């Protein structure tokens, strides 16, 4: 479908043509906008700019000059310095849509540019980006954590929908907690599963992923549908003896994993107790097995 003749098409610049920036830029191209310039420092950024965005890398000031909308898709810790640097160079930011894709930051990080007339938006795709070609497909239907000034909310919503996403409005002061919630779920899940695969591999299980796949798929489905009521396993059953065996085995095999297991078992017991799924007397037995207080 030819979208180039739609009204309101924008010249898009990408500061940071990495995994996220190249995908968001490509999604905006599919919506009929034009990526006109991009910047980056790595060989991978150069490749993505050429293959996904059909532009060559250039200087950040050139990206700003050529663009109506600028994607600031750099690592979180780099973002404040980038914005401050753009403001300090005296780049003409008046009327430019300045969009960052950080989950942890809201609009304040764009303050130095906003003071110079930039129009700030925070559009964070709730998706993992691996650098593979299917990243763009995954963007379709995913949620975006969106923060925008009131007058720019329609613009933010339109951009997210054009990229195939669904806007979820996040108050500026809630961005850090929002990001902690989703990053904790996704990132820590990967760590826990990778740890489980390694432990199973140590005892001779040839295909740990095949063993874990159906169980983890069912567990994810349960929690997304039922919340904490979908919890199963020894903690919610109050099987303190089994939990203690787990801890003892992990202390011998992987002490660092034992610490994580104890912390998560305490959190699980606390949630189960609060939800009425675990009886107080069973919680006391678990407390002894875990060697600490599960109440705060």
pLDDT for 183-235, tens place per residue?
A: 999 999 999 999 999 999 999 999 999 999 999 999 999 999 999 999 999 99
Domain shared by 163 and 195, yes or no: no
Residues 120/107, Cβ–Cβ less than 8 Å: yes
Domain stops at, among 126, 154, 170: 170
Domain that holds residue 231: 178-290
Count: domains in the chain: 2
CATH of the domain at 111: 3.40.50.720
Helix (H, G, I), strand (E, B) or coil at 235: helix
| The token pair that represents 154 in the structure block | 């329609």
Per-residue pLDDT reduced to its tens digit, 237-264: 999 999 999 999 999 999 999 999 999 9
pLDDT digits (tens, 9 = 90+) for 25-84: 999 999 999 999 999 888 888 888 898 899 999 999 999 999 999 999 999 999 999 999
User: Tokens representing 126?
Assistant: 């709730």
Distance CA 273, CA 251 (A): 26
pTM of this structure: 0.88
pLDDT for the residue 8: 67
d(Cα 65, Cα 181) in Å, to the nearest integer?
A: 37
Q: Cα separations (Å) of 269 from 107, 151, 236, 243?
A: 37, 45, 7, 11
Within this chain, do residues 82 and 162 fall inside the same structural domain, yes or no? yes
Q: What phi and psi values does residue 95 have, to the nearest 5 degrees?
A: 75, 0
Contact 222, 211 (CB under 8 A): no
pLDDT at 131: 82
Q: Could you tell me if 164 and 237 lie in one domain?
A: no
From 118, 147, 170, give the residue that closes a domain.
170
What CA–CA distances, in Å, run from 195 to 119, 242, 257, 278? 44, 19, 8, 27
């Amino acid at each position: 479908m030819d979208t180039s003749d739609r009204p309101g098409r924008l010249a898009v610049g990408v500061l940071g043509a990495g995994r996220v920036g190249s995908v968001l830029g490509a999604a905006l191209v599919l919506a009929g906008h034009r990526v006109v310039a991009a910047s980056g420092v790595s060989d991978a950024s150069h490749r993505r700019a050429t293959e996904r965005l059909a532009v060559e890398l250039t200087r950040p000031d050139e990206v700003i000059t050529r663009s109506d909308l600028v994607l600031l898709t750099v690592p979180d810790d780099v973002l404040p310095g980038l914005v401050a640097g753009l403001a300090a160079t005296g780049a003409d930011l008046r009327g430019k849509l300045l969009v960052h894709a950080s989950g942890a930051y809201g609009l304040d990080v764009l303050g130095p540019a906003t003071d110079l007339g930039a129009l700030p938006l925070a559009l964070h795709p709730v998706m993992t980006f691996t650098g593979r070609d299917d990243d763009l497909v995954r963007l379709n239907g995913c949620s975006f954590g969106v923060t925008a000034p009131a007058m720019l909310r329609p613009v933010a919503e339109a951009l997210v929908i054009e990229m195939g996403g669904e806007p979820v409005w996040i108050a500026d002061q809630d961005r850090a907690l929002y990001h902690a919630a989703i990053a904790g779920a996704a990132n820590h899940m990967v760590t826990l599963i990778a740890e489980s695969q390694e432990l199973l591999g140590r005892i001779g299980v040839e295909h740990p992923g095949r063993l874990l796949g159906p169980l983890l798929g069912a567990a994810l489905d349960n929690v997304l549908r039922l919340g904490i009521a979908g919890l199963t396993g020894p903690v919610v059953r109050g099987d303190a003896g089994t939990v203690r065996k787990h801890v003892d085995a992990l202390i011998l095999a992987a002490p660092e994993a034992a610490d994580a297991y104890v912390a998560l078992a305490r959190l699980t017991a606390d949630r189960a107790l609060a939800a009425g799924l675990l009886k107080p007397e069973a919680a006391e037995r678990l407390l002894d097995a875990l060697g600490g207080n599960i109440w705060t």
